Each structure stands twice: as structure tokens, then as C-alpha cells.
Structure 1
């Protein structure tokens, strides 16, 4: 039974985030959802605490012995020629030292045609970015609270420009085994550029995420509620396609209400038969729906779904995410138990 104290803990975790001044960020690929399970459940979950070695990339506090000797690789095609993916592995040294986690996150932007200021073709160029991470989690003695951190080294190459950066993720998760409730909080991409592209230091895409999930008693389903971008309250913008014009030519911009802006922080997800050999997943991202849906057309933006199948020590994951009428993404993943 869901008790008031869990709701209170969750709300306190959400309000503990701080404001972030808006601006442009570098290394935006760090916030791509590259795990099929994450993508199918709407993205950015911080409360999965099980075998899934990919989860530690989003919340290092979820690193646990059940991930030990799990090796995963994920691949997806974004838009155009852009491809991206991750690989992750965890190893438990012993019950005292507990579990270490290693991960890699990359994106390849494909080939582009280059032109000079006179419009003369100069040849083709490409771009790619990669981040290597090393993580560790620790169970606070005599509590159900786990804390963890990832250290990341980032490399970015865009045409002839290069940049190197460093960042850390910190996270925490509270596990209530009696009620099958998990409450998580993660602060991601705290860091800086070590070398810049052209002499200008740019901030990293810091993000604060909180979440809660519960496996329902007597029903084989786990629901998830995630609050994203808590470092900045106002994340809405007026869509010019939704502006109205009266008979006198006066244009009225779309007004985003308090409730509408609040919803854009929310991601919902559900997993049927969690932990079984076969499970089905679905999610809904309110922000993606609000920003990418087309006026007067049903595009189903924000909806995602997927499934997982396990054959002995091999698990296959797939997800489909709807962005617009013209663009959707699929992610494929394989996880191998090396034990």
C-alpha cells in the first residue's frame, strides 16, 4: 500500500533541485536515451534496480551485484545518418568492495558536405562524440539508501574542431523491499570542458532527474513516474504554429499554462511482467508530445513501446519511440550474462 511518507520523500527530492540559468550547452549527446528499456518506458528512469547494467548510466546509485558480469550493447539510428549507442559492463569484486561499472556512450553524426563563404565546395567532413564512464555505488550501512557516482571522460570531434571534457554524475536511490517501491534522484553531467573547440568555454547539459516506481501487489506490472529537467522550472515555449490572428491582424501567441509547463517535466512508464523472460513496456513523454505534435493532426508524438526476450544467458531488447509524423526511432539491444 502506498503510504503518505513515500509521497513526502518523493516531493522533497523533487523540490531539492536548484535553478539553472538557460543558455547553450555542449556535449548534448550525454542526455540521449540510448537504452531500449529506457526508451520504451519514456526515457530517463532513475529507479530501475535489477540486472539491467544499462541503468547505471542514468543513475549510478543503481549499481548492484545483480549486474555483475552482465555485458550489454545497444544501437540505434536517430535522424538521417546519425547513429548512436552504448555499451556497459559491471563486475562484483567481492561482497565487501561490491560492484564496479564501466560504460561507453557514443554518437556519430555521419558525413556532411562542406562549403566556403563563396559557396565553393571544400569536401566532406564528419562529426562524432564519445564518453567513457566508470561508476561505483555504496549502500549506506543499516539503511535502505544507496548512493553512487559516475566519472566521465568526454571527447568530441566536429569537423576540424576538437574538445575534451570531464564530468560526474551523482545519484541516490531508496529501496523499500516490503512495498516494492523505489525512489531515485540523479544529478547528471556536473563538469567542464578541459579543452574547447575554439577558445570559448561552454557549459555542459546539467540535468536533475527524480523518479518513483512500484511493482503492484498481485499484478505483474511495475509503474514509473519520472520528473525530468528539475534544474529549470520553465521549459515550455510558445509554438508559432499555434498562434491566432483576429480580423484586424492582431496576433496572439500561444500561452503555456502553469499546468501545461508542469506536465512537460513528467514521463510515465509501465512494464508488464518485469524481471520475467518476456516483458512488454510502454511509456509517454509529455514534453516530447507537447513540442513535436502537429496542430490539428494526430501524430502520437511522445508515445513509446518495446519488449524484451531472454534466451538462457542472452537477452534481446527493442524499443520504438514516436517523435513526429515524419520521424521515429528504433533501438536494439543485446545483453549477455557472462557468468
Structure 2
């Protein structure tokens, strides 16, 4: 069984390496950060195996019995007046079938003023997208490996254009209880546009991530390391704003070496008191920090920090993520124990 899973993963990677990063595929909202906790740890954390029902939106292999009857609602005040949110719920059927998971991701791009080619006003229009997912995880017998999958239906409407698609996420998780170490691989958004916006087929934002995390033995900290977008190398492009000019006016474009490419795939995070009722979370996305930093300014792009607070059957989460000096993002989350 495990060999079949690995074969499927390698075939998926080989057949979907054409997938690109932001701006080069459709349904980009599928790769947005799904919760305040994930955002605080730098984004794209795929190794948490606990009560956090929203984590399964990014890695279905983390679906577990602790998520039973947990309902999570998250809201993000995003950039440029955009807002989006997620909701997730898990239910344990019985000891044999274990836990099923359902989730929704929704984004609203706000209201826009429309104009024709001659500059005449045509009224306002809106744009929004949504994805509904159903997930399940399975423990490979007599091993410490877990596999999971999310099946997603995707709907998008941008002005008068609409599109409908479907995708599958696959995750593999390894848990070493002796070392308190988790390792995971995810293949996300393997799918297809069933109906296009205007007759042109577009790829989905396929993404491969690898993650590690460990609960330190004598210190109340769990550290996280994620390598994102492993389906593409190189990941960085020269920033025209960082081009250098000599005395004759000749420009030299920014060069990104091997280490610069490697670091842009890296996300680090740490959660202090991860198993207590009050948590402190810190994270840093090197790609966001490099792409959004302003030369000769210290704006802390890429940094994020947040807190979690448990009160009886409620868990509150808040995260502030630094993007640029002009705009940053706040994440709000509420998880309810319905048991």
C-alpha cells in the first residue's frame, strides 16, 4: 500500500511540473493561508497533528480523532480591501471509519468600477471565488505513516465571467513519537477546469511542500520548517527596482544565486506553549520577505506573530503578518468544541 502511495505521488509530481506560481495559473486563492495559527508560523505549516481542524485544509493527512466535532471559523482582512475566510469541521464516525473532514474557502475581491473601451462607465461589478473540500486520512497498518486526500469543487465568478473546476490534495505524514518529530509532504491542487472563463484552459496552482516540526523535550516549544513550492526551481526572479546603474548609465539586473533561490523556498516558525491554553507563535517567510522588502528600509516584511487563547470550549486566535510598509494583514479565528 505504501509503495502505491509513493508511486502515485511521484507520478503526480512528474505530470504537473508545468504548474506555476502567482499570476501564472487560475484559482490562486487555493494557496492562501488558511488560519491565524498557520499564518503566525509563517504560512503553509503542514505537520500539526492536534485539535486544529483548519490545518487539514492544507494537509489532509493530519486529519485525526482530536478534531472530532470541532468547528473553526476564520476571517482575514487582506490587502487592497480584499477579504477572505475559511471554515472547517470534522466528525468521527466510529473507531473503524475514523474521522471525516469538510472545509470551505471563500474570497471576496470587493467592488470595482467598470468602463468600456471608450472610457464610458458601465457600472460596478464584483468578483468572488469559493472552494468546498471533503477530506479523509488513513493510517497505513503497522506503520507510523498516514495518507490523506481532499477532494475540492471550485467556483469562480469575476465580473461577467465564471469558471468551475475540481482538484485533489494528497498528503503523507510521518509521526515519530519517540523524538516528538513530524514530517510531511503535500501535493496540492492537482485538478482541472471543467468550464473556463472565456474558452482558454488554464492550469491550477499546483504546489509541492515538505515540512518538519518537533516538540523539544525540555522546552515548551515546537519548531517548524517548511520548504514550499518544490515543484519549481528557480523560484526567484530579478526585481527591476533593484537594478544598479554605473556612471555611463548601463544597468545591471539583480542576480539571485543558488542560496538566494534556496532561501526563498524556506519558511520557519515556532510555537511557545503549544499544548497549553495560551500560545505564542512566531514565523518568517523568506520568499515574502525577499520579494516585498524595500531597499535601504527595515520594514520586517515576511515576519508574522500571533497568539492563541483557550477558554472552556472556545479557542481564539489572532495573527498580524507583515507584508510592506504600506499594508499588512490581520487574521482572526474562532474554534468551537461542539462535543
Q: Is 2:34–2:57's contact at 8 Å kept on the other side of the alignment?
A: no
**Deviation of the 1:241 alpha carbon:** 1.6
5+ residue gaps in structure 2?
Answer: 1-8
Structure 1 counterpart of 2:4: none
Mapped pair 1:286 → 2:286: yes
Alpha-carbon distance between aligned partners in 2 of 1:200 and 1:17, rounded to the nearest angstrom: 24
| Matched-pair contact (CA < 8 Å) for 1:42–1:282 | yes
Matched, 1:181 2:181: yes
The alpha carbon displacement at 1:22 in A equals 5.8
State how far apart, in whole Å, the 2-side matches of 1:222 and 1:81 are.
Answer: 34
Answering whether residue 33 of structure 2 is matched by residue 36 of structure 1, we say no
SS in 2 for 1:80: helix
Deviations 1:65-119 (A, max 9, x none): 0000000000011122210010000000001000000000010000000000000
Higher mean C-alpha deviation, range 159-168 or range 77-86: 77-86
Q: What CA distance in whole angstroms lies between the structure 2 residues aligned with 1:238 and 1:185?
A: 29
**Equivalent residues of 1:112, 1:126 under 8 A apart:** yes
**Alignment check: 8 A CA contact 1:34 1:84 kept:** no
In structure 1, what is the equivalent of residue 150 of structure 2? 150
Cα gap change, 1:203/1:17 in structure 2, threshold over 3 Å: closer, same or farther?
Answer: closer
**What is the CA–CA distance in structure 2 between the aligned matches of 1:38 and 1:207, rounded to whole Å?**
17
Q: TM-score normalised to the size of structure 2?
A: 0.94
- CA deviation profile, 1:31-50 (whole Å, cap 9, x unmatched): 00030000000000110111
User: Is 1:82 the counterpart of 2:106 in the alignment?
Assistant: no
1:21 match: 18
- The residue that corresponds to 2:248 in the other structure is 248
- Equivalent residue of 2:284, what SS? strand
Runs of 4+ off more than 6 Å: none
2:34–2:55 Cα contact (<8 Å) kept: no
Deviations 1:282-326 (A, max 9, x none): 000000000000011111000000000000000000011000011
Using the TM superposition, give the Cα deviation of residue 17 of structure 1 relative to its aligned residue in structure 2, in angstroms. Answer: 5.3
Deviation at 1:239, TM superposition (A): 1.0
Shift of 1:249: 1.4
- 1:138 and 2:138 are equivalent in the alignment: yes
2:231 is paired with a residue whose SS is: coil
Instruction: Report the CA distance between 1:122 and its aligned residue.
Output: 0.4
| d(CA) in 2 for partners of 1:143, 1:285 | 33
| TM-score (normalizing by structure 1) | 0.94
Residue 332 (structure 1) aligned with residue 332 (structure 2) = yes
CA distance in 1, matches of 2:269, 2:13: 22
Tell me, in whole angstroms, the C-alpha distance in 2 between the residues paired with 1:101 and 1:17: 25
Matches within 5 A, 1:52-91: 52-91=52-91
Using the alignment, how far apart are the partners of 1:20 and 1:139 within structure 2? 28
How many residue pairs are counted as aligned between the two chains? 326
Give the alignment of 1:254-333 within 5 angstroms: 254-333=254-333
In 1, the alpha carbon distance for the partners of 2:162 and 2:33 equals: 24
> Contact 2:62–2:148 at 8 Å: present in 1 too?
yes
Deviation at 1:233, TM superposition (A): 1.2
1:207 maps onto 2:223 in alignment? no
Structure 1 SS opposite 2:39:
helix
Q: Distance in 2 between matches of 1:46 and 1:252?
A: 39
Distance apart, 1:250 and its partner CA: 1.2
> Hey, what's the Cα distance between the residues in 2 that align with 1:241 and 1:161?
34
How many Å apart are 1:21 and its aligned residue? 2.9
Contact 1:266 1:286 in 2 (8 A): yes
Q: Does 1:100 align with 2:100?
A: yes
**CA–CA separation in structure 2 for the residues paired with 1:156 and 1:296:** 40
Matches of 2:46 and 2:79 in 1, distance apart? 26
Q: Aligned residue for 1:117?
A: 117
Name the SS of the counterpart of 2:38 in structure 1: helix
